[in-house]
Amino acid sequence: MAPKPFIAPIVESTAVFKPDIFNGKVLFCTGGGSGIGRGMVYAVMKHGANAVIVGRNAQRLEQAAEELSKETGRVCIGVPADVRKPEQLRAAVDKTIEKFGWIDFVINAAAGNFLSPISGLSENGFRTVIEIDVLGTYNSIKATLPYIRKSKGSYIHVSTTMHYRATPWQVHVSAAKAAIDATSAVLAVEEGPHGVRSNVLTPGPIGGTEGMVRLMAAQDTRMEDAIALGRMGDNHDCGSATVFLFSDVASWVSGQVLVVDGGTNHLSVPYVKYPDAMLDPEPYKKKAAKL
């Protein structure tokens, strides 16, 4: 009988890093009200930072900010803003400075995603994802950079492995995330002399996120069977990587892409059923649409 495959444990960052390493620090995060972004904010706050989370859904932000404050014992406030609108992001930054006085860390986690083959993807749908992911990241950088220079702070931009290989039904996301990776690299080179670091955090299949649930429905297989370390990712995995990249031990790490995916990317397993979903996409689109 073959041995059972290893399943990697889920470890909170506080099990390794001191809980006070970010005392006095301030985090500004777009897309921090839910999903991976929320998990990243939680981890940074657990180590002492206060935070501002930004998103379009004011009710979700308020609830998330209240929960994060209770869970971590730190202060989190939600500021509604659309990352596609520079003036709204500048206003959110102004409120952050008014509340806390400075910004040390920025996470760009706001993103848009849905499943669609190129043949069924509208120009507006493609543009919307580019605007949220790419322009939203750029707008956030522009709004926060003067303060990150002052604090000699750090950026983390959330990306994906979709564009490393051709991922069916994800052309819009692939194009957007490739642009984010390039933007981060240029930011690291230009702003390094000012004491600013910029890195990319690239999650693999994180369980429970809306995008992954839809992809798994379209794929119609067990994602765990294609992950070298035996399980879906967890928000704690992304949170721990975030703590590392923002911490002083990463002071010489900039312009890099940290993939947190349990080895998934190296297995080249398509996220949607191939080639069936290419030849007749409707049944798979309907599965994803029901969720």
Q: Where in the sequence numbering do the catalytic residues fall?
A: 159, 177
Q: For 152-281, where are the alpha helices, taking DSSP H only?
A: 171-191, 210-219, 235-246, 276-279
Query: Does residue 201 sit in helix, strand or coil?
Result: strand
Give every CB contact of residue 141 below 8 A, 6+ residues apart in sequence.
106, 108, 155, 183, 187
* Residue 217 CB partners (closer than 8 Å, separation 6+): 284, 287, 288, 290, 291
Distance CA(186)–CA(272), nearest Å, equals: 33
| DSSP class of 207 | T
User: Coil, helix or strand for 31?
Assistant: coil
The CB-side HSE value for 215 (13 A sphere, CA atoms) comes to: 21
CA 84 from chain center: how many Å? Answer: 17
The C-alpha atoms of residue 96 and residue 26 are separated, in whole angstroms, by: 9
CA separation, residue 135 to residues 29, 105, 132 (Å): 15, 19, 6
| Alpha carbons 138 and 145: distance in angstroms, whole number | 10
The whole-angstrom separation of Cα 133 and Cα 84 is 9
Chain-centroid distance of CA 77 in Å reads: 19
Q: Are 154 and 145 in contact (CB under 8 A)?
A: no
